[in-house]
Structure 1
Amino acid sequence: MRKYVVLGLYFIGTVAYAQNARPVYKDRKAPTEARVKDLLGRMTVEEKVGQLATVLGWEMYQKEGARVGVSEAYKKALAERHIGGLWATLRADPWTKKTLATGLNPTQAVEATNALQKYAVEHTRLGIPLFLAEECPHGHMAIGTTVFPTAIGQGSTWNPALLQRMAAAIAQEVRAQGGHIGYGPVLDLAREPRWSRVEETYGEDPVLTSQLGVAMVTGLQGQSLKSGVNVISTLKHFAAYGVPEGGHNGGGNSTGYRELYQSFLPPVHAAVKAGVLSIMTSYNSIDGVPCTASEFLLTEVLRRQWGFQGFTVSDLGSISGLATSHHVAATPAEAAALAINAGLDDDLSGYGYDKALLEAINQQLVSGEVLDRAVSRVLRLKFDMGLFETPYVDVRRAARQVKSPAHVQLARRVAQESVVLLKNNQNLLPLSKSLQRIAVIGPNADNLYNQLGDYTAPQPESNIVTVLEGIRAKVSATTKVTYVKGCAIRDTTSADIAAAVAAVRQAQVAVVVLGGSSARDFKTEYQSTGAATVTSAGPEVLSDMESGEGYDRATLELLGKQQELLQAVVQTGTPVVVVLIKGRPLNLNWMAAHVPALLDAWYPGQEGGNAVADVLFGDYNPAGRLPISVPKHVGQLPVYYNAPRPARQSYVELDARPLYSFGFGLSYAKFEYSDLQVSATEGSGAVNVTVRFKVKNTSARAGDEVAQLYLRDEVSSVVTPSKQLKKFERFNLKAGEQKEVVFELTAEDLMLLNQQMHWAVEPGAFTLMIGASSDDIRLQASFNVANAIQLAQSATR
Structure 2
Amino acid sequence: MRTKNIAIPRSYLMVFTMILGLGSPALGQVKKGNTSTVLYKNASAPVDARVKDLLKRMTLEEKVGQLCTLLGWDMYDKKGDSVGVSEAFKTVISKRYIGSFWATLRADPWTKKTLVTGLTPKLSAKATNALQKYMMENTRLGIPLLLAEECPHGHMAIGTTVFSTSIGQASTWDPALIQEMAATIAKEARLQGAHIGYGPVLDLVREPRWSRLEETYGEDPYLISQMGISMVKGFQGNNINSGSNVISTLKHFTAYGSPEGGHNGGIALTGLRDLYSSYLPPFQAAIKAGALSIMASYNSIDGVPCSSNSFLLKDVLVKQWGFRGFTVSDLGGIPGVRSNHHVAATMEEAATLSINAGLDADLGGEAYGDALMKAVNEKKVTMATLDTAVAHVLRLKFAMGLFEHPYVDADVAEKSVGTAENKALAKRVAAESIVLMKNENGLLPLNKAIKHLAVIGPNADNIYNQLGDYTAPQSQEKIVTVLEGIKAKVSPDTKVTYVKGCAIRDTAHSSINEAVAAAQQADAVVIVLGGSSARDFETSYQSTGAAEVKSAEVAVSDMESGEGYDRVSLDLMGLQSRLLERIMATGKPVVLVLIEGRPLNINWAAQHVPAIVNAWYPGQEGGNAVADVLFGDYNPAGRLPVSIPKSVGQLPVYYNYKSASRHDYVEMDAKPLYSFGHGLSYSTFDYQDLKANVQATGNNLKVSVTFTLKNTSKVAGDEVAQLYIRDDASSVVTAVKQLKKFKRIHLAAGEQQAVTFELLPEDLKLLNVDMKWVVEPGTFSVMVGASSEDIRLKGSFEVKQQVLCKY
State the TM bucket, normalised to the shorter chain. over 0.9
- Determine whether 1:324 maps to 2:339: yes
Aligned partner of 1:670 in structure 2 is 684
In structure 2, the partner of 1:439 is 454
Opposite residue 481 of structure 2, the aligned amino acid is T
- Residues 8-48 of structure 1: CA deviation (Å, up to 9, x unaligned): xxxxxxx9999676210000000000000000000001000
Number of aligned positions between the proteins: 769
Q: Alpha-carbon deviations, 1:181-215, whole Å to 9, x = none?
A: 00000000111000000000000000000001000
1:682 positional shift: 1.3
**TM-score (norm. length: structure 1):** 0.95
Question: 1:687 Cα deviation (Å)?
Answer: 1.5
Are 2:649 and 1:635 aligned?
yes
C-alpha separation in 2, matches of 1:202 and 1:16: 47
Q: What is the aligned partner in structure 2 of residue 3 from structure 1?
A: none
Q: Equivalents in 2 of 1:524, 1:691: separation in Å?
A: 57
Aligned partner of residue 333 in structure 2, secondary structure: coil
Residue deviations 1:664-687 (CA, integer Å, cap 9, x gap): 000000000001111012112121
Deviation at 1:140, TM superposition (A): 0.3
1:573 counterpart = 2:606 = no
Contact in 1 for aligned 2:335/2:350 (Cα 8 Å): yes
Please point out which of 164, 170, 189 is paired with 2:179.
164
Q: Indicate whether 1:215 and 2:230 are aligned.
A: yes
* 8 Å contact from structure 2 (residues 259, 265) kept in 1: yes
Match of 2:555 in 1: 541
Distance 1:300 1:680 in 2: 35
Structure 2 residue aligned with 1:43: 58
AA aligned to 1:174 is: A
Q: Could you say if the C-alpha distance between residues 16 and 99 of structure 1 is closer, same or farther in structure 2, counting changes exceeding 3 Å?
A: closer
1:121-200 correspondence to structure 2 within 5 Å: 121-200=136-215
Q: CA RMSD in A?
A: 1.7
For structure 2, the 5+ residue unaligned runs are: 1-29, 542-551
Code of the aligned partner of 1:121? M
In the alignment, is the contact (CA less than 8 A) between 2:454 and 2:522 conserved in 1?
yes
Give the drift of 1:735.
Answer: 0.2
Q: Determine the C-alpha separation between the residues in 2 that align with 1:328 and 1:35.
A: 38
Q: Which of 710, 714, 723 is matched with 1:700 structurally?
A: 714
Could you say which residue in structure 2 is the equivalent of 1:307? Answer: 322
1:525 offset after TM fit, Å?
Answer: 14
SS at match of 2:319: helix
Q: How does 1:555-704 map to 2 (within 5 A)?
A: 555-704=569-718
- CA shift for structure 1 position 647: 4.3
How far has the Cα of 1:539 moved from its partner?
13
Q: SS of the counterpart of 2:678? A: coil
Tell me the SS of whatever aligns to 1:773: coil
Matches within 5 A, 1:361-760: 361-521=376-536, 541-760=555-774
The aligned residue for residue 776 of structure 1 is 790
- The DSSP-based 3-state class of the residue aligned with 2:692 is strand
Unaligned runs of 5+ in 1: 1-14, 527-537
Cα shift readout 1:398-451 (whole Å, capped 9, x = no counterpart): 121101111000000000000000000010000000101000000000000000
Match of 2:18 in 1: none
CA distance in 2, matches of 1:239, 1:559: 31
Following superposition, the deviation at residue 67 of structure 1 comes to 1.5
Q: Percent identity?
A: 65
Q: Which amino acid aligns with 1:432?
A: N
Q: Is the 1:489–1:515 Cα contact (8 Å) retained in structure 2?
A: yes
- The equivalent position to 2:295 in structure 1, one of 280, 292, 297, is 280
Q: Which string of whole-angstrom CA distances, capped at 9 and with x for unpartnered residues, describes residues 512-564 of structure 1?
A: 000000000169999xxxxxxxxxxx997110000000000000000000000
Check whether the contact 1:59–1:74 (CA below 8 A) recurs between aligned residues.
yes
Give the 3 Å change call, closer, same or farther, for CA 354–31 of structure 1 in structure 2: same
Distance in 2 separating the partners of 1:107 and 1:200:
28
Measured in 2, the distance between the counterparts of 1:630 and 1:404 equals 36
Matched residues in 2 for 1:80 and 1:711: separation? Answer: 58
Q: 2:239 maps to what in 1?
A: 224
Equivalent residue number for residue 248 of structure 1 = 263
Contact between 2:259 and 2:268, CA under 8 Å: does it hold in 1? yes
Cα deviation digits, residues 587-640 of structure 1 (max 9, x gap): 010000000000000000000000000000000000000000000000000001
Query: Which residue does 2:78 correspond to in 1?
Result: 63
Residue 792 of structure 1, CA deviation: 4.0
The alpha carbon displacement at 1:149 in A equals 0.2
Q: Distance in 1 between matches of 2:345 and 2:255?
A: 26
What one-letter code is carried by the residue in structure 1 that aligns with 2:45? A
Change in Cα spacing, 1:539 to 1:652, as seen in structure 2 (3 Å) is farther
Q: Out of 64-73 and 83-92, give the one that drifted further.
A: 64-73
Q: Aligned partners of 2:667 and 2:791: how far apart in 1? A: 27
Tell me the residue number matched to 1:112: 127
Cα separation, 1, equivalents of 2:693 and 2:35: 64
Q: Report if the CA contact (8 A) 1:431-1:618 is conserved.
A: yes
Pair 434,218 (structure 1): closer, same or farther in 2 beyond 3 Å: same
Supply the AA of the counterpart residue of 1:549: E
Cα distance in 2 between the residues matched to 1:603 and 1:734? 29
Partner of 1:8: none
How many angstroms apart in 1 are the aligned matches of 2:593 and 2:213? 19
Q: What amino acid sits opposite 1:159 in the alignment?
A: D
d(CA) in 1 for partners of 2:32, 2:49: 20
The change in CA–CA distance for 1:544 and 1:524 in structure 2 (over 3 A counts) is: farther
**Letter aligned with residue 713 of structure 1:** D
- Does the Cα contact within 8 Å between 1:146 and 1:403 map onto a contact in 2? yes
Q: Secondary structure at the match of 2:449?
A: coil
C-alpha separation in 1, matches of 2:487 and 2:374: 63
Given that 1:95 and 1:522 are in contact with CA atoms closer than 8 Å, whether structure 2 keeps it comes out as: no
- Are the aligned partners of 1:318 and 1:352 in contact in 2 as well (CA < 8 Å)? no
Q: 1:403 to 1:686 in 2, by over 3 A?
A: same
Aligned match of 1:99 in 114, 118, 124?
114
Secondary structure, counterpart of 2:529 in structure 1: strand
Please give the alpha-carbon distance, in whole angstroms, between the structure 1 residues aligned to 2:612 and 2:537.
33
Q: Is the 8 A contact 1:439 1:481 kept in 2?
A: yes
Among 335, 341, 352, which residue is 2:350 paired with?
Answer: 335
Q: Compute the displacement of 1:791 (Å).
A: 1.9
TM-score normalised by length of structure 2: 0.94
Residues 346-397 of structure 1: CA deviation (Å, up to 9, x unaligned): 1110112111111111221100000000000000000000000000000111
Task: Work out which of the residue numbers 250, 270, 293 in structure 1 matches 2:308.
Answer: 293
8 Å CA contact 1:150, 1:453 repeated in 2: yes
CA distance in 1, matches of 2:204, 2:602: 22
**2:31/2:44 contact within 8 Å kept:** no
Give 3-state SS (helix, strand or coil) of 1:235's partner: strand
Matched residue, 1:54: 69
Match of 2:89 among 53, 71, 74: 74
Q: Could you say what secondary structure the match of 1:179 adopts?
A: coil
